[in-house]
Chains A and B, each alone.
Chain A
Amino acid sequence: MINVIALGNTLRGDDAIGPVVLQELEKIPHAKDKMRLIDAGSDAFTLLEYLNGPRPNVVVDCAEMREAPGTVRTFALNEKTLRWADEAISLHGFSLAEVWAMAQAVGRVAPTLLIGVQPVRVEFNEELSEPVRKAIPKILELIIKESEKYA
Chain B
Amino acid sequence: MGERMSKNLSINVHHITRVEGHGNIVVDVKNGVLKRAYLNIVEPPRFFEAMLKGRNFHEAAIITSRICGICSLGHQMTSLKATEAALGLEVSDQTVMLRKILVHGATFQSNVLHALFLATPDFLNVGSVFPLVHTHKDVVLAALRLKHLANEIGELISGRAVHPISIVPGGFTKLPSEKDLIYLRDKLQGEGMKDALFTIDVLATLADQIPKFERETEYISLYNENEYALYDGVICSSDAGLFPVEDYLNVTNEFVVPHSTSKHTKFNRSSYMVGALARFNNSHKLLKPKAKEVAAKLGLEAPNYNPYMNTVAQMVEVVHCIEDSIDLINELLDRGIKDEKPNQEPTRYGRGIASTEVPRGILFHDYTYNRKGQIEKANCIIPTGQNLANIDEDMRKLVPEIINEPKKEITKKLEMLVRAYDPCISCSVHMLDVQFEE
Q: Interface of A with B (CB < 8 Å)?
A: 9-11, 39-43, 45-46, 48-49, 92-93, 98, 101-102, 105-106, 124-125
- Shortest distance from the beta carbon of A44 to any chain B beta carbon, whole Å: 9
CA distance A102 to B134 in the complex (A): 10
CA distance A140 to B48 in the complex (A): 31
List 6 A–B pairs whose Cβ atoms lie within 8 Å, in order of A's numbering.
A11-B67, A42-B69, A42-B70, A46-B161, A92-B70, A124-B51
Most chain B CB inside 10 Å of its own CB: which residue of A11, A40, A46, A101: A11
Contacts of A98 in B (CB 8 A): 128-130
CA distance A18 to B307 in the complex (A): 38
A41 with B66: CB separation less than 8 A: yes
- Tally of A-B Cβ pairs under 8 angstroms: 68
CA distance A43 to B113 in the complex (A): 12
- Shortest distance from the beta carbon of B194 to any chain A beta carbon, whole Å: 19
Task: Give 7 closest A-B pairs by Cβ, nearest first.
Answer: A42-B69, A105-B133, A41-B69, A41-B162, A11-B66, A43-B69, A93-B20
A105 with B137: CB separation less than 8 A: yes
**Given A45-B113, A93-B20: A39 and B162 within 8 A (CB)?**
yes
CA distance A39 to B66 in the complex (A): 11
Tell me if B24 is interfacial: C-beta within 8 Å of chain A: no
**Given A93-B19, A106-B133: A41 and B163 within 8 A (CB)?**
yes
* Interface segment out of the listed B143-151, B204-212, B383-391: B143-151
Contacts of B66 in A (CB 8 A): 9-11, 41
B139-171 near A? 1/0 per residue, CB < 8 Å: 011001001100100000000111100000000
- Shortest distance from the beta carbon of A149 to any chain B beta carbon, whole Å: 26
Contacts of A9 in B (CB 8 A): 66, 69
A39 with B147: CB separation less than 8 A: no
Contacts of A102 in B (CB 8 A): 129-130, 133, 140
Tell me if B46 is interfacial: C-beta within 8 Å of chain A: yes
A49 with B51: CB separation less than 8 A: no
B147 nearest CB neighbor, chain A only: A45
Tell me if B403 is interfacial: C-beta within 8 Å of chain A: no
Contacts of B148 in A (CB 8 A): 49
B113 with A40: CB separation less than 8 A: no
B144 with A124: CB separation less than 8 A: no
- Shortest distance from the beta carbon of A48 to any chain B beta carbon, whole Å: 7
**Given A93-B19, A105-B130: A49 and B140 within 8 A (CB)?**
no
